[in-house]
Amino acid sequence: MNDHVKTNSAGPIIATVMAFGLAYAVLRYHIVGPVPWKDFPFFILNKGISLSAFILLTCNFGFGPLNNLGVRVPEGWLNARKAMGMTGFLLVLIHALMSFLLFKPAVYGKFFEADGTLTLLAGLSMLGGILAFVVLWAYNLSFQTFLREDQAFIRFITSRKFLLFALLLGAAHLFFMGYSGWLNPAGWHGGLPPISLLAFSVFAIGYVSNLLGRK
């Protein structure tokens, strides 16, 4: 027997988060909402994937600081952080590729002006999303051994200041995309909050934990 095997809850956490993300998207848009089932394999799956990715990444950044703040995060959850971060990154990559294919006025009317150009809010939202994606990519690179030796890069990218800034990019993506709908609960399908608001609330908890608990 090896007493040094670390408990790691990555499998069950990732499975639960993904099941929740997909179930929420299906419930809000197909079951209580108006979207036809033919749109499940791409439009709605993209929403479920982006929500799951966002929650996994928030857990990745948030568990350590929460633990520092005295919330007892189980050992297996702390050990799951690397797998959650990697899975979150890959899910965001899928989300970005799917979004590029879907990105047209017929699908996202509210992102476009009548002349087919982007609205200001859509431009700000997509800028936030793309910058957040590039920063996530840089985080992943920082785990590669060839960059591990570049101490200045690692120190910068894992610094508290940079992290607190980087998290805001993901929040900007959600905020500019969604806040007009957040303020109109009467328009929520089945009374269920939009995915962007749900993800933003998860972000807010993660951000406050980082603000207070990251060393």
Applying CB under 6 A, which residues contact ligand HEM? 46-47, 50-51, 53-54, 57, 92, 95-96, 99, 103, 126, 129-130, 132-133, 136, 170, 173-174, 177-178, 194-196, 199
The residue among 77 and 176 lying less far from ligand HEM, judged by its C-beta, is 176
- Retrieve residue 26's tokens: 């299906």
Read off the DSSP letter of residue 9: -
The residue among 48 and 65 lying less far from ligand HEM, judged by its C-beta, is 48
**Long-range pairs of 40-48 with CB within 8 A, sequence gap ≥ 24:** 42/98, 42/101, 42/102, 43/102, 43/107, 45/98, 46/95, 46/98, 46/99, 46/102, 47/195, 48/18, 48/21, 48/22, 48/23, 48/24
CB of 212 to ligand HEM, least distance (A): 21
CB of 135 to ligand HEM, least distance (A): 8
The residue among 76 and 86 lying less far from ligand HEM, judged by its C-beta, is 86
The residue among 7 and 165 lying less far from ligand HEM, judged by its C-beta, is 165
The answer to whether 77 and 24 have CB atoms below 8 angstroms apart is no
Q: What are phi and psi of 104, to 5 degrees?
A: -150, 160
CB of 64 to ligand HEM, least distance (A): 18
Q: Which of 207, 130, 125, 120 is nearest to 174 (CA)?
A: 125
Terminal CA-CA length for the chain:
36
The residue among 74 and 134 lying less far from ligand HEM, judged by its C-beta, is 134
Helix (H, G, I), strand (E, B) or coil at 159: coil
d(CA 102, CA 35) in angstroms, rounded, equals: 15
Q: What are phi and psi of 93, to 5 degrees?
A: -60, -45
CB of 79 to ligand HEM, least distance (A): 22
Residue nearest to ligand HEM (CB): 129
CB of 116 to ligand HEM, least distance (A): 16
CB of 7 to ligand HEM, least distance (A): 27
The residue among 76 and 107 lying less far from ligand HEM, judged by its C-beta, is 107
